[in-house]
Structure 1
Amino acid sequence: MKRSNANRNLISYSVWSFSIICWFILLFNPGNLLTAAHCQMNLCNRSSASLKMILKINPFSEMMTGWILMVLAMMLPKLIIPIQIIINQSFKSMSFLLVILFITGYVLMWAVTGFLLNIFIIFVSIQMPGSFILAVIFGIITLIWQFSPIKQKCLNRGHYHPVLAAWGSKAYKDAFSFGITHGFWCVGAGWALMLLPMLLPQGHHLAMLIATFIMLSEHMEHPQAPRWRIDLRLKLLRIIIPENPIGR
């Protein structure tokens, strides 16, 4: 059931391509596919914000659609290795459905999280419409969370890849459960970085790109002992910009 390097590369290219498509829709919204803002709250009259007005401008169902698209754009590249593991441990005739079940379980965890976060965003949009104050406060909370032992524990558990059944109904159950479990730990590690761009009155697209870079970079780091420490986890940056040896 082991796949060749060519197949692994095909998986990587396919995942990245789908992620880029999602990014294109988020950034450029071709054909007005997204009628509501996907990661920020629009208010037509900031001085008289109300729940009814907010939901009229930003229907909750469309907010959730935008959230799922945002998750797919930002998180899919982190799933390349788990997807490769699922394919390597399964029969070829079953691998596609197993991958779909894994992604479904993963996205389900983020959908539940998005439901709660969008409710929170609606509430704060009523209380503090268009304010950077909340973004600054939550930015500090996010920074504290980034260096917390709980965050590191979630990152560590995200590296755990269970042995999955290769055949039968248990294989489908294992793939779906793997998606839920992996999604749970990813939510634990990345919920703050996902929420922060949504609280910004401006510059949310740039914040999303930065958050994506950070999450991809920290996902590439090796597991470490959970403890309080300042660790920027910039492995991806070190790969992109390698240190040049001293000229001889």
Structure 2
Amino acid sequence: MWAVRDRKHDQKLFITLAVALFALAWLALWFWGQSPYGRFIMHDDEISHGMAHGGGYSIPIIVFVVSWTLMIVAMMLPTSLPLITLFRALVRDRKNHMHLVFLLIAGYLSMWILFGIAAHIGDWGVHQIAGESAWLHSDSWMIGVAILVTAGLYQFTSLKYHCLDKCRSPLSFIMERWQGGNEQKQAFRLGVDHGIFCIGCCWSLMLLMFVVSAGNIGWMLALGTVMAVEKNMPWGRRLSAPLGVILLGWGLIMVVQGIPLLHWHT
């Protein structure tokens, strides 16, 4: 009986510390956005210029990776808390259980960091194309429309629902992959696999951050909440289609009225 109480208390303490970490990440993002380094979250055009002219891009990309990682800790890691807590409960009796949890989180974050770098390079490429096209430069908001429509359509795809179902079933996800052999390798691989499915579920919504300004705390909170609900609430799966309709409708309104409700940074 005491062992059960200890486990429950230990689990509550872990969740409390995790929530505190997420809150600190949000607070750090807010302070970062107010600082001179805020442009590295906002994808300011100065960053693109650094890559375009070569030489001075190593520091901006490093700072971007740090800011992006902080953003993922604030936005995406909370959506995976059920899987993390279940995994910790599974390995709790092992002496190195916190090390295994750390490896799980590291694997998860590594996939999102790679995605962020790829998206950042793609963002730079679009800036380069827009800079050489008079039409795109004057109507750059149409790029935002394209991303909105892409995100909206993706909400209806079988791949979206396949990845979402994997994210919504943390216990079976762990049981399918945790064999207890090379535990450190398996813990990291478990995080990698979960990160891949999480990206498959949420990549199109995360790309919206490059349209509405990645450093906008309000948008980050809104999108983070939507993704958390999709992945964890009992009725979250039913949110995907209505969200797709909203995104498609938003894009259609922008095209019909020609009003740049979203601004692509060029």
Using structure 1 for the length normalisation, give the TM-score.
Answer: 0.77
Question: What is the DSSP-based 3-state SS (H/G/I as helix, E as strand, rest coil) of the residue aligned with 2:110?
Answer: helix
Residue of structure 1 in register with 2:113 after alignment: 111
Partners of 2:38 and 2:215 within 8 A in 1: no
1:8-27 aligned within 5 A? 8-27=11-30
Matches of 2:214 and 2:85 in 1, distance apart?
37
Matches of 2:212 and 2:236 in 1, distance apart?
32
Is residue 2:53 matched to residue 1:52?
Answer: yes
Residue of structure 1 in register with 2:253 after alignment: none
Structure 1 residue identity aligned to 2:105:
I
Q: 1:205 to 1:172 in 2, by over 3 A?
A: same
1:73-152 aligned within 5 A? 73-90=74-91, 91-128=93-130, 131-152=140-161
Once the two structures are overlaid, the 10-residue window that deviates more, 153-162 or 183-192, is: 153-162
Structure 2: gaps of 5 or more residues: 132-136, 245-266
Per-residue CA deviation, residues 156-210 of structure 1 (Å, 9 max, x unaligned), is: 11224323355xx622122111101111100101111111112235883322221
Greater helix share, 1 or 2?
A: 2
Residue of structure 1 in register with 2:183 after alignment: 171
Matches of 2:208 and 2:243 in 1, distance apart?
17
Using structure 2 for the length normalisation, give the TM-score.
Answer: 0.73
Question: What is the DSSP-based 3-state SS (H/G/I as helix, E as strand, rest coil) of the residue aligned with 2:212?
Answer: coil
Q: 1:57 to 1:136 in 2, by over 3 A?
A: farther
Q: 1:206 to 1:125 in 2, by over 3 A?
A: farther
Matches of 1:40 and 1:89 in 2, distance apart?
39
Cα RMSD for the two superposed structures: 3.4
Matches of 1:170 and 1:40 in 2, distance apart?
41
Question: What is the DSSP-based 3-state SS (H/G/I as helix, E as strand, rest coil) of the residue aligned with 2:45?
Answer: coil
Is residue 2:197 matched to residue 1:195?
Answer: no
Aligned pair count reads 227
Structure 1: gaps of 5 or more residues: 234-248
Per-residue CA deviation, residues 1-56 of structure 1 (Å, 9 max, x unaligned), is: 97622222222211211111111111222894x72534332135x9x997128965
Per-residue CA deviation, residues 48-99 of structure 1 (Å, 9 max, x unaligned), is: 9971289659811211111111111101212222222222221252211010
Matches of 2:59 and 2:144 in 1, distance apart?
20
Q: For 2:241, which of 211, 214, 230 is the aligned residue?
A: 230
